Amino acid sequence: MAKKTHKAVTVGFIALGCPKNVVDSERMLAEIAEAGMLIAAEPERADVVIVNTCGFIEPAIAESLEAIEQALARKKQGDVRKVIVAGCLSQRLGRELFDTAAGIDAVVGLEHRDSIVAVIRETLASDASVARLSPPPRTVADDRTRLRIGPAHSAYVRISEGCDHRCSFCTIPAIRGPFRSKLPELVLDEARELVSSGVVELNVIGQDTTRYGRDAQVKDGLASLLRRLQGLPDLAWIRLLYAYPAGLTDGLIEAIRTSEKVVRYLDIPLQHVSDEILKSMRRPDTADGLRRLVEKLRAALPDVVLRTTLIVGFPGETDEHFAELMEFVQWARFDALGAFTFYAEAGTPAAGFPHQISDELKQQRLDELMLTQQEIAFARNRSRAGSRLTCLVDSLDSRGQGQARFNGQAPDIDSICLVSGCSAAPGQFVQARVTGTQDYDLLVEQV
């Protein structure tokens, strides 16, 4: 008598949000694969669709809800049996999501990431909705077992979770809980596994990477961790993301300066530079302090690439405050800059502040800021003409056109280098000469 075979469950996965969410997605995908379930090549046609959401600000919420609605539409058409929503929006809205998007089968909070297989099985076995929700996590997730969804040669390594800063505009502490550092041994184990699998670029992430170790009263914890990471053979680049200004100590700057593997790239979220606005934002920085920091970084690391993030239209921001911000941007000449308008996020103190700015004025200020930064970025690109760069190849087409990055370009965030006559495979480094520019991207040829 022939044995009865069971068709493997297929799972479609939609990953949204920041690099921290990417790591969560990779962890869930590993759990799913280890359970013998199949990851669907077409997420919109699977037994179960999981949407790992972002819920930080209004546009991210809108993007997440749109992805959820698209999955639910597929469910109504019969292409999908169950829809599960995970991630930050689940943590933020909880059971409210069942009413916001009717038809969701399960809502999974951050603390229950590693229970995703059990949730899948439970939804398939019953028509009852499933909720796996807890208060914001206080543990540190173990990310060592992951099914990577990015390039084989570049990966994120998360060194901490949560945030202890209480910025008046931010939802992150309420979503991801208090700051807690991952044990250095766990970080190193994860990094070793990634490097042994072919990773040559580690991108160090956390809500505030410069705070690493402080919850355990470890002085210069990040500098110490970087020194241990750079001892890994076959690892070429270590990139530091999300470095809060106050955490860029002399010890950390010196660790970067003396390292052969920590690239001269810093992503420093300033948010604003006006003393009055910074105080209202509940940020510890001052305009003078931020100016001194930029000067110190450029003196210690002459070739450093600086990226920042700014908010315009914060409650009470006057024309004078915005002019001060614009003057600072024109002076600092950041290599890369991201900005967004203030969103009055529910549950944050700033949502109730007086003197809210109109959407029209916020957008006008954002447009002016980004046009100014565009001129700065384009001029910086032009100044690189004729220079030589070491580039990490990310992809290569059949015509020998490569997409690569020099050490001043973070993956998925910054511009790229378009390499003509590229003979290297993805994951390899090439020497290239800058021949021109294409908007924000650099045109280079292999030499």
Can you list the domains of the chain with their CATH numbers?
A: 10-132 (3.40.50.12160), 154-383 (3.80.30.20), 388-446 (2.40.50.140)
d(CA 394, CA 409): 12
> What per-residue confidence (pLDDT) applies to 4?
47
Confidence of residue 6 (pLDDT cuts 50, 70, 90): low
What percent of the chain clears pLDDT 70, i.e. is strictly above it?
99
Residue 334 DSSP one-character state: -
Least confident of 129-138, 200-209, 363-372: 129-138
pLDDT at 14 over 50: yes
Angle, CA of 258, 264 and 267, to the nearest 5°: 125
User: What is the crossing angle of helices 19-34 and 116-125, to 10°?
Assistant: 60
What percent of the chain clears pLDDT 90, i.e. is strictly above it?
91
pLDDT tens figures, 374-405: 999 999 999 999 999 999 999 999 888 999 99
pLDDT tens figures, 110-126: 999 999 999 999 999 99
Average model confidence (pLDDT) for the chain?
Answer: 95
d(CA 265, CA 409): 8
Mean pLDDT of 166-189: 95
> What per-residue confidence (pLDDT) applies to 187?
97
Q: What sections of 230-286 are H helices per DSSP?
A: 250-257, 275-281
d(CA 219, CA 82): 48
